[in-house]
Amino acid sequence: MRNMKAAVFVAPGRIVLDEKPVPAVGPGDALIRITTTTICGTDVHILKGEYPVVPGLIVGHEPVGVIDALGPGVAGYTIGQRVIVGAITPCGQCHPCLDGHQAQCGGKAMGGWRFGNTIDGAQAEYLLVPHAAANLTPVPDGLTDEQVLMCPDIMSTGFGGAENGQIKIGDTVAVFAQGPIGLCATAGAKLKGATRIIVVDGIPERLEMARRMGADITINYRNADPVAEIMRLTEGRGVDVAIEALGTQQTFESCLRVLKPGGVLSSLGVYSGKLSLPVDAFAAGLGDHKIVTTLCPGGKERMRRLMSVVASGRVDLGSLVTHRFKLDQIEEAYDLFANQRGGVLKVAITP
């Protein structure tokens, strides 16, 4: 039996490099050799014990790799082919999948999120992919690992927030927080046709990056009250769509307070603890507001479309990779990313 190196959740506060057996390939499965992966904010929630997973689980859900083995029933692919796999791996056959809710595959909330949640994940030398025929997506020639590294989760989630927000041509959109997902939401809002995109963050470098992604106006919340400023900029009307990309009570409430009557609050944050609705901002439930949530759309067609956007040159998300580590340095990478040092946005991890 072959062994591999992997980042393993041990207990809250401890994700360590360990050895695990290379997975055996069964019917419908594929084994990919990871060439590049990354750390997500959700992995940090797992590290801190804010999202529960079983001890001994390999974490990570953003894989780029090469097909190493194919199980019975998986056709149309070749060994050695470069592929990505979405963070969400729908089966494509259950009721939620056939009803258009692939992220909720299996009928349980978040059921499509398997990697690093209910099965071993991508921060390892090898990854077993279930429902491979529905989830393996070949990487076009000419695109590097880092160019497509955001597609499995960050890009799909951020774009999903813009899509589910039902942004229309000419809309005014506010995006609270310009971490990787918020930056992708900003880029997605631009692609959807928003003509006035206002972003909020407290880090100047992220605000500058947001401008490169399509933001028209940036607000540093350390220098100005973003709610008051957005209402001033919109002459008291409020925004058509507000996207929450951090997962805190304050940013969620701020989104609600800048939203016009009949507007959409598109929530992308992962919340821990209690989340409440302020009655005044919610107009006592009578403001025709819509609150929508998004779990990263997955599946091979979603990944193909996202890589098509990257290949077109309409967005450059490779620039979100600010630090690079070997898998052997995964604990160091987690320390940097979890504590947001050195201007980190995303890290590339290469076995």
Q: For residue range 222-231, list pLDDT tens digits in order.
A: 999 999 999 9
Q: Which segments of the chain belong to CATH 3.90.180.10?
A: 3-149+317-350
Q: Where are the beta strands (DSSP E) in the chain?
A: 3-11, 14-21, 30-36, 64-70, 82-85, 126-129, 136-138, 172-176, 196-201, 217-220, 239-244, 259-267, 290-293, 321-326, 346-350
Q: What is the pLDDT at residue 273?
A: 82
Domain 155-293 annotated CATH 1.25.40.420: no
Provide the percentage of residues in the chain whose pLDDT is more than 90. Answer: 97
CA distances 171 to 207, 239, 241, Å, are 20, 8, 8
Radius of gyration in angstroms for the set of CA atoms belonging to the chain, rounded to a whole number: 20
pLDDT at 272 over 90: no
Q: Which segments of the chain belong to CATH 3.40.50.720?
A: 155-293
Stretch 139-160: mean pLDDT: 97
pLDDT at 307 over 90: yes
Stretch 266-290: mean pLDDT: 93
Instruction: Enter the CATH code of domain 3-149+317-350.
Output: 3.90.180.10
pLDDT at 27 over 90: yes
Return the percent helix, strand and coil in the chain, to nearest 5: 30, 25, 45
Sheet holding 290-293, edge to edge: 217-220, 196-201, 172-176, 239-244, 259-267, 290-293
d(CA 230, CA 263): 14
